[in-house]
Amino acid sequence: MAEATEFDVAADDSPLAPRGHRDYDAEIRDLGLKEYCDLADEQGFAVVPPEKVAPPEFIERLRNTVLRVAEERTGQKFSLEENGNQGHYRTEPAIAGQFLLYYLLFEDRVFEEWLNNRTMRALVNHYMRGEGQLSSLTSFVKWNGGDYGDTLGLHSDTPRPVSGELPKGCNDVVNSALALTDYSKEDGAIAFVPGSHKLCRYPKPGEGVEQAVAVEAPAGSLIFFNGNVWHGAFPKKTDGLRLNLTTYCCHQRLKTQEQYQWFVPREMLERNPPEFARFLGAADAMGWRKHGPEITRFSKWSDETQPVPEEILELHPA
């Protein structure tokens, strides 16, 4: 073995090395989430039960708000017992029996309350050592006939690197579906191939279908999964809606799917804890224009437990 030199990288350069600002593992222990992290490490996903996530009234508020946004965007009436209709809301992927409601954060205060959810944030922090940011906040609205075909739509969520190999630490992205209706196989539950995250590659078409399992879980459960695990959904064969709120997060060094960084209103930053600003990339200097990196401005805020300074707030729309 070559002798260490002063140019060697830090001894502990594992993806889970503690680079963050807080003790994220203590947070996991305090919230009683260790067993779910162990499960997620082993299977690639874990289902956190409703009582560890949010009160039923909060889930109901979220569900009602998602239904309201669905009505506003489609021009159609929605109820949980009836099948949906995309109406004039044109988005992709265009799949019969389902659509996605994108970019929900700015639709209602309930979504920013969700982003402060301790359980979800502790899991994201644990897997990304505090370096996670919101990439997209969406709802999958699905009804009878929603179907990804024979492959169950199995895929990994991690963006594909040039090499085709997904990161072994599995933490470039993490995702979670907060079930807003009960999930069962017949109702088009999310499907996972347990352990597939360890292969660190995408599935070939049709691969993994035989091993796929359905998540059967009551509304209010948080289905948390890492970016490498193969997942899709079983066909929805029953009438009525399957609803969720999907919080897709990526490492701060990656591009987000939806635009938040400069678009978060100042008022929203002021009324939320400072960690919220960091989670939204609201103090991320990258993406500069003629003023360059503005190092002095951005270096004013290096500790996410401290209030966001005026120098950064003033960059956000009033």
Ligand X SMILES: O=C(O)CCC(=O)C(=O)O
In whole angstroms, the minimum distance from the beta carbon of 114 to ligand X comes to 15
3-state secondary structure of 249: strand
Distance between CA 48 and CA 61 in Å, rounded?
A: 20
In whole angstroms, the minimum distance from the beta carbon of 155 to ligand X comes to 7
> How many chain residues touch ligand X (CB under 6 A)?
9
By a kind-dependent CB cut-off of 5 to 8 A, residue 140 interacts, out of Fe ion, ligand X, none, with ligand X
Residue closer to ligand X (CB basis): 98 or 272:
98
Instruction: Look at strands 132-142 and 222-226 and give their pairing.
Output: unpaired
Please give the residue whose beta carbon sits closest to ligand X in the complex. Answer: 233
The 10 Å CB-count burial string (b at 16+, else e) for 199-214 is bbbbbeeebbbeebeb
Binding residues for ligand X restricted to 243-272, rule: CB under 6 A: 246
Distance between CA 297 and CA 305 in Å, rounded?
A: 18
In whole angstroms, the minimum distance from the beta carbon of 47 to ligand X comes to 13
Tell me which stretch binds Fe ion (CB under 5 A): 39-47, 155-163, 183-191, 199-207. Answer: 155-163
- On the 0-12 / 13-18 / 19+ scale of CB atoms within 10 A, 140 is buried
Distance between CA 119 and CA 198 in Å, rounded?
A: 24
Quickly count: other Cβ atoms within 10 Å of residue 15's Cβ.
Answer: 15
- Please report, for residues 32, 45, 58, 158, 251, the alpha-carbon distance to residue 190 in angstroms, rounded to integers and kept in the order given: 24, 11, 22, 17, 24
Tell me which stretch binds ligand X (CB under 6 A): 14-22, 26-34, 227-235, 264-272. Answer: 227-235
Is 187 among the residues that bind ligand X (CB under 6 A)? Answer: no
Tell me which stretch binds ligand X (CB under 6 A): 16-24, 110-118, 225-233, 261-269. Answer: 225-233
Residue closer to ligand X (CB basis): 122 or 223:
223
Among 46, 69, 124, 177, binds ligand X (CB under 6 A): 177
In whole angstroms, the minimum distance from the beta carbon of 219 to ligand X comes to 14
- Please report, for residues 28, 83, 90, 222, 277, the alpha-carbon distance to residue 52 in angstroms, rounded to integers and kept in the order given: 12, 30, 36, 9, 24
Residues that bind Fe ion (CB under 5 A): 157
Binding site for ligand X (CB under 6 A): 140, 157, 175, 177, 190, 231-233, 246
